């Protein structure tokens, strides 16, 4: 069964600290993996995309990694800011159907305290 599991479910950190969010997936075949940020009451916004051949990609203070062999991805946030408080959703796309089906994790709820 194709699944996307994220951990931790929720996380509280102090402003300025770093944190790492995890995403494990069983989706096969694999096309790409995206991390989305969803602010409270808003729609998700894409942060980064990882394809099969990519190991690391950065977007400002966000760095995503992908290990396609172990089917794991992480999102590392450096020097956290209050505005980083949000839900971070991992989404995996397969390439096996014309729909290009997307599999969503339940998200990690990050809270940054001052």
What's the closest the beta carbon of residue 16 comes to other proteins, in angstroms?
27
What's the closest the beta carbon of residue 43 comes to other proteins, in angstroms?
3
Pairing mode of beta strands 10-14, 108-113? parallel
> Does residue 89 belong to the site contacting other proteins (CB under 8 A)?
yes
Q: How far apart are CA 1 and CA 69, in angstroms?
A: 18
Q: Site mask, other proteins, residues 33-52, x = CB under 8 A?
A: -x-x----xxxxxx--x---
Q: Site mask, other proteins, residues 45-84, x = CB under 8 A?
A: xx--x-----------------------------------
From 15, 58, 14, select the one nearest 35 (Cα to Cα).
58
- Residue 41 gets the label, from left (phi > 0), alpha (psi -120 to 50) or beta, of left
């Amino acid at each position: 069964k194709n699944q996307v599991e994220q951990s931790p479910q929720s996380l509280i950190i102090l402003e300025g600290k770093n944190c790492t969010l995890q995403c494990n997936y069983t989706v096969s075949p694999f096309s790409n993996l995206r991390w989305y940020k969803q602010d409270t009451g808003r729609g998700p916004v894409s942060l980064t995309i990882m394809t099969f051949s990519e190991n690391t990609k950065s977007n400002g203070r966000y760095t995503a990694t992908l290990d396609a062999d172990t089917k794991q991805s992480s999102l590392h946030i450096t020097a956290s800011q209050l505005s980083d408080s949000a839900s971070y959703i991992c989404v995996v796309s397969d390439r096996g159907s014309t729909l290009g089906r997307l599999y969503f994790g339940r998200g990690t709820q990050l809270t940054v305290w001052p």
